[in-house]
């Protein structure tokens, strides 16, 4: 279906720092310092600036430029599901070798 | 909304038979949302059904209002573990909407304004189990709860009752929706506690 272009209310979201704890459980690095490229509009920016909708069955992180979904994180009792199909890449700053 | 202690609800404790396993009772109506809330004016609203053969059926808001409505009182069970009992909704049964739709499809993918999707078997939409609901407790359905109209399919977890419903795609093959492709159960029966994949 063609996208519905609005109007929309923003709804209740937090910034990407809300992802810090849940992602640290999975990755050894702090991914909120990483930057990602949105698969929908191509905008690149830090994970910490994503819009995180947390009042939902999982965490839904959306692009601040186009509001499409960049990342979804679902935490079950025994597994976590991380869906990154909305990000073409994630650049993670690492220490100099 | 705070954590509700089951002990404060007497007979409606977590062990009460009217609640599925692992659920607690809530009196308010929590708003869950995975994104921005679309404000769809009813004069631009349209509901479509597209069959597995590509045939398209469409209803305007006036078309929907002209169909016979039903008022039903049902219990809601959210996968985030709250349940709300005895909620009253008015809507049009999917039996009515699909009555003249030519299809032999087994699966449905429900689409919402805003891009949300959820999947369920066609048989779960029929036989008085599902509605396109536009009134809640006698009032027009608020956008926060899915207005102007949402799918209501209360025998499955509430994420299947897509807010801001826009259309249904009828499919020969099952296609997972927004949460079903990110760890949640494909069917989502609260009485069998089908929360996550593998439950
Ligand atoms: Zn974007």
Indicate the domain borders of chain A.
Answer: 16-91
Which band of pLDDT confidence, cut at 50, 70 and 90, is reported for residue B3?
very low
pLDDT in tens, B71-97: 999 999 999 999 999 999 999 999 999
More confident call, B127 vs B4:
B127
CA atoms of B63 and B199, how far apart (whole Å): 40
Please name which of A65, A12, A6 lies closest in space to residue A36, comparing C-alpha atoms: A65
Is the pLDDT at B13 greater than 50? The verdict is no
**So what's the pLDDT on residue B17?**
63
Q: Sort strands A59-62 and A69-75 into parallel, antiparallel or unpaired.
A: antiparallel
pLDDT in tens, A25-53: 888 888 888 999 999 999 999 999 999 99
User: Domains of chain B: which residue ranges?
Assistant: 42-192
CA atoms of A85 and B126, how far apart (whole Å): 33
Mean pLDDT of B125-147: 98
Distance from CA of A84 to the nearest CA of B (A): 10
Distance A60 CA to ligand 1 centre (A): 14
Q: From residue B157, give the alpha-carbon distance in Å to each of A65, B2, B83, B154, B173.
A: 32, 21, 10, 7, 21
**So what's the pLDDT on residue B5?**
45
Q: Which CATH class is domain B42-192?
A: alpha beta
Walk along chain A (97 residues) in steps of 10 and give the mean pLDDT of each run.
Answer: 87 92 88 93 96 96 97 95 95 82
Instruction: Out of B33, B167, B184, name the one closest to residue A55 (CB).
Output: B33
Q: Sort strands B82-93 and B107-112 into parallel, antiparallel or unpaired.
A: unpaired
Q: Which residues of A touch B80 (CB under 8 A)?
A: 57
**So what's the pLDDT on residue A1?**
76
CA atoms of B43 and B11, how far apart (whole Å): 46
Q: What is the dihedral of CA A62, B182, B144, B28, to 10 degrees?
A: -130
Q: CB-based contacts of B62: which residues, under 8 Å, 6+ apart?
A: none
CA atoms of B161 and B110, how far apart (whole Å): 9
pLDDT in tens, B140-178: 999 999 999 999 999 999 999 999 999 999 999 999 999
Transcribe A16-71 into DSSP letters: GGGGHHHHHTT-SS-GGGSEEEETTT--EEEGGGSEEE-SSSSEEEE-TTT--EEE
pLDDT in tens, B28-70: 999 999 999 999 999 999 999 999 999 999 999 999 999 999 9
Task: Give this complex's ipTM.
Answer: 0.88
A92 contact B CB<8A: no
A30 contact B CB<8A: no
CA atoms of A46 and A78, how far apart (whole Å): 29
Distance from CA of A19 to the nearest CA of B (A): 15
Instruction: Out of A9, A56, A81, name the one closest to residue B183 (CB).
Output: A81
pLDDT in tens, B184-196: 999 999 999 999 9
Residue B88 dihedral angles phi and psi, to the nearest 5°: -115, 130
The answer to whether B39 contacts A6, with C-beta atoms less than 8 Å apart, is yes
């Amino acid at each position: 279906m063609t996208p519905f272009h609005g109007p929309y209310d923003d709804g209740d979201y937090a910034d990407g720092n809300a992802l810090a704890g849940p992602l640290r459980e999975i990755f050894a690095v702090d991914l909120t310092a990483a930057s990602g490229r949105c698969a929908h509009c191509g905008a690149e920016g830090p994970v910490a600036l994503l819009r995180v909708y947390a009042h939902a069955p999982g965490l839904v992180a959306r692009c601040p430029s186009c509001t499409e979904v960049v990342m979804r994180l679902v935490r079950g009792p025994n597994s976590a599901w991380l869906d990154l199909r909305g990000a073409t890449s994630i650049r993670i700053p690492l220490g100099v070798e | 909304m705070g954590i509700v202690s089951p002990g404060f609800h007497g007979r409606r404790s977590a062990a009460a038979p009217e609640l599925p396993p692992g659920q607690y009772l809530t009196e308010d109506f929590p708003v869950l949302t995975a994104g921005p809330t679309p404000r769809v004016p009813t004069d631009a609203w349209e509901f479509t059904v597209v069959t597995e053969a590509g045939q398209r059926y469409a209803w305007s808001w006036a078309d929907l209002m002209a169909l016979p409505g039903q008022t039903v009182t049902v219990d809601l069970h959210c996968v985030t573990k709250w349940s709300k009992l005895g909620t009253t909704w008015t809507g049009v049964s999917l039996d009515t909407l699909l009555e003249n739709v030519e299809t032999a499809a087994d699966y449905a993918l429900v689409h919402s304004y805003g891009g949300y999707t959820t999947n369920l078997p066609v048989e779960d939409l029929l036989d008085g189990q599902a509605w396109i609901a536009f009134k809640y407790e006698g009032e027009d359905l608020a956008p926060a709860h899915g207005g102007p109209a949402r799918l209501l399919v209360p025998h499955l977890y509430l994420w299947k009752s897509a807010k801001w419903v826009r259309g249904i795609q009828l499919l020969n093959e099952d296609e997972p929706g927004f949460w079903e492709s990110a760890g949640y159960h494909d069917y989502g029966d609260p009485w069998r506690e089908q929360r996550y994949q593998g439950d």
